[in-house]
């Protein structure tokens, strides 16, 4: 049975949840049409880009990582009865990098991004890391769910005097995060010469463009651009 639509003025608060099944279902719906995410799921799970991967297998990988964050001291936040879900690691409890079999990808997505974060943030500052956030697109009538999660974590970061960090893997995502006060500190490409923009194998493929984005309440004065 489907939950009743929640009017905008009656939206529910953000809650931490252990229900990885429902959280995963929301994330699977949110990323159903994200070719960049499909590419990343393949890389993280050591699947060759040319191998056919069903939507069911991609969804299983999404579920696996949702479970990992829950099991390894991360936080799974949901808003409006799982209309949106955010998956975070906490300051002092970051998950180990899931290295791929591709050294060049590892350098781009892990080494370079880690180095850039250390360049930008003051020494000793920690952060909440947003692994992924997504909305159940089958319920467009429910609004404000992603906003609630991002604003709640901005509040938590402000209180702890720490940062928020993420990678935006689309222009739309980048614009959303900018609206909430995140700034871009590195533009980078991945999958170039491997896949085209639809994650199809292509030696001349353009791959994907992504952005390392950070938030801090005093970013203008303490972050090094």
Query: What pLDDT shows up at residue 204?
Result: 97
Integer angstrom CA distances of residue 188 from 79, 89, 110, 167: 31, 22, 12, 10
What was the pLDDT predicted at 36?
Answer: 98
Residue 141 structure tokens: 């009538």
**Residue whose token pair is 């974060």:** 117
The reported pLDDT for the residue numbered 4 is 34
Asked if 16 and 75 touch (Cβ cutoff 8 Å), the reply is yes
CA-to-CA distance for 85 and 76, rounded, in angstroms? 7
Q: Tell me what pLDDT residue 12 has.
A: 66
Which tokens sit at 38? 């499909």
Q: Residue 224 and residue 88: Cα distance in Å, rounded?
A: 24
| Residues 115-155 pLDDT 10s | 999 999 999 999 999 999 999 999 999 999 999 999 999 99
Q: Under DSSP, is residue 149 helix (H, G, I), strand (E, B) or coil?
A: helix
pLDDT in tens, the chain (225 residues): 333 343 444 456 899 999 999 999 999 999 999 999 999 999 999 999 999 999 999 999 999 999 999 999 999 999 999 999 999 999 999 999 889 999 999 999 999 999 999 999 999 999 999 999 999 999 999 999 999 999 999 999 999 999 999 999 999 999 999 999 999 999 999 999 999 999 999 999 999 999 999 999 999 999 998
User: For 142-202, where are the alpha helices, taking DSSP H only?
Assistant: 145-160, 171-179
What pTM value is reported for the model?
Answer: 0.93
Residue 13: per-residue pLDDT = 86
Name, in order, each residue with C-beta under 8 angstroms of 177's C-beta and a sequence gap of 6 or more. Answer: 150, 166, 168, 213, 215
> What pLDDT shows up at residue 56?
98
Q: Write down the pLDDT at residue 225.
A: 80
CA distance 22 to 145: 15
CA distance 129 to 125: 13
């Amino acid at each position: 049975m489907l939950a009743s639509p929640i009017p905008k003025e009656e939206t529910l608060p953000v809650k931490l949840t252990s229900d990885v099944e429902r959280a995963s279902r929301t994330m699977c719906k949110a990323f159903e049409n994200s070719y960049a995410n499909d590419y990343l799921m393949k890389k993280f799970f050591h699947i060759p880009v040319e191998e056919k991967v069903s939507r069911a297998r991609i969804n299983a990988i999404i579920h696996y990582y949702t479970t990992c964050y829950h099991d390894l001291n991360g936080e799974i936040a949901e808003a409006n009865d799982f209309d949106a879900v955010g998956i975070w690691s906490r300051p002092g409890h970051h998950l180990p990098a899931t290295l791929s079999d591709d050294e060049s990808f590892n350098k781009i997505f892990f080494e370079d991004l880690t180095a850039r974060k250390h360049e930008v943030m003051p020494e000793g500052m920690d952060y909440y890391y947003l692994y992924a956030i997504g909305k159940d697109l089958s319920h467009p009538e429910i609004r404000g769910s992603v906003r609630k999660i991002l604003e709640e974590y901005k509040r938590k970061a402000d209180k702890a005097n720490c940062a928020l960090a993420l990678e935006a893997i689309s222009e739309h995502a980048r614009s959303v995060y900018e609206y909430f006060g995140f700034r871009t500190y590195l533009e980078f490409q991945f999958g170039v010469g491997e896949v085209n923009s639809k994650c199809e194998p292509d030696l001349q493929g353009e791959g994907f463009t992504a952005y390392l984005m950070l938030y801090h309440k005093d970013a203008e004065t303490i972050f090094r651009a």
